[in-house]
Amino acid sequence: MTFDEKNTWIYGVVALGAYGVYLVTVLARAHGGPVVEVAYIAPMLWCIGAAIVAAILGKVAVSALWPREANHRDDRDREIDRFGEHVGQSFLVIGLVAALVLAMAEIDHFWIANAAYLAFVLSAALGSGAKIAAYRGGFQPW
């Protein structure tokens, strides 16, 4: 597994894990009531912050464990990275368009913020998934 592939796994798992923690926290706080009344901002910010820190620490740990591979990228890594970013970005655009529509329709802030967060998570998770599929299953850039 290359340095980039290891970091891709970390990035995808951390993004999904943090979102899972956020969902569980919000649903637990709702106690079966309407979720729009839940104080979601602090859990969301903590989860986003924790995901960023965890991804950085993960990359540091991978660099420390495999120092010879650290930051060694070749053509294939760069091409797979571009492909994954392309896939991830499409979900980011879809999510942000959804957030825009929700804002124009004057839907509760809770749903707008959650649509944007979900877009970030889908972008990270599906972009990472596409890269891992390319690493594992094969990738023909031509």
Partner 1 sequence: MKPTKITNSMRALRFANGEMTQAELARRTGVTRQTVIAIEQGRYSPSLELAFQIAQAFGIPLDAVFRYPDDSEEHS
Residues near partner 1 (CB under 8 A) are 1-3, 5, 69, 72, 74-77, 133-135, 137-142
* CB nearer partner 1, residue 34 or residue 140: 140
| Residue 78 C-beta: closest distance to partner 1, Å | 10
* CB nearer partner 1, residue 30 or residue 77: 77
Q: What's the chain's length in residues?
A: 142
| Residue 126 C-beta: closest distance to partner 1, Å | 16
| Residue 15 C-beta: closest distance to partner 1, Å | 23
* CB nearer partner 1, residue 18 or residue 134: 134
The answer to whether 76 and 139 are in contact (CB under 8 A) is yes
> Could you tell me the CA-to-CA distances from 63 to 1, 25, 66 in Å, in that order?
13, 32, 5
What is the DSSP secondary structure assignment for residue 38, as one 8-state letter? S
C-alpha span between 53 and 42 (Å, rounded): 16
